[in-house]
Structure 1
Amino acid sequence: MGKVYDGLHRISFLINEEGVIEHVFNKFKTKTHHEVVLDYLNGND
């Protein structure tokens, strides 16, 4: 049919107290998303 399917794109934003985007998470699985965010917050990026 000529159509290309790229799949799902999941994006999550970490927003600080001032409302500014601090970090963008775009490579994660939904099962481990919390671990990715906690690792970032703990400095294990």
Structure 2
Amino acid sequence: MVAGSGSVITKLTDEQADYTKMYQTQVRLNLRVININLDKHNKYIV
């Protein structure tokens, strides 16, 4: 049981790492979209 539980923890950590990567990518994409929208907005102001 103890030996098996270690692999479960590793699996969870791998999933968390994948989720973190996905989350970071999503945040980056969102920031890019926000920057593009701000650029358009600034052109209208000027």
TM-score, with structure 1 as normaliser = 0.28
Largest Rg, 1 or 2: 2
More helix by share: 2
Give the structure, 1 or 2, with the largest relative contact order (CA under 8 Å, sep 6 or more). Answer: 1
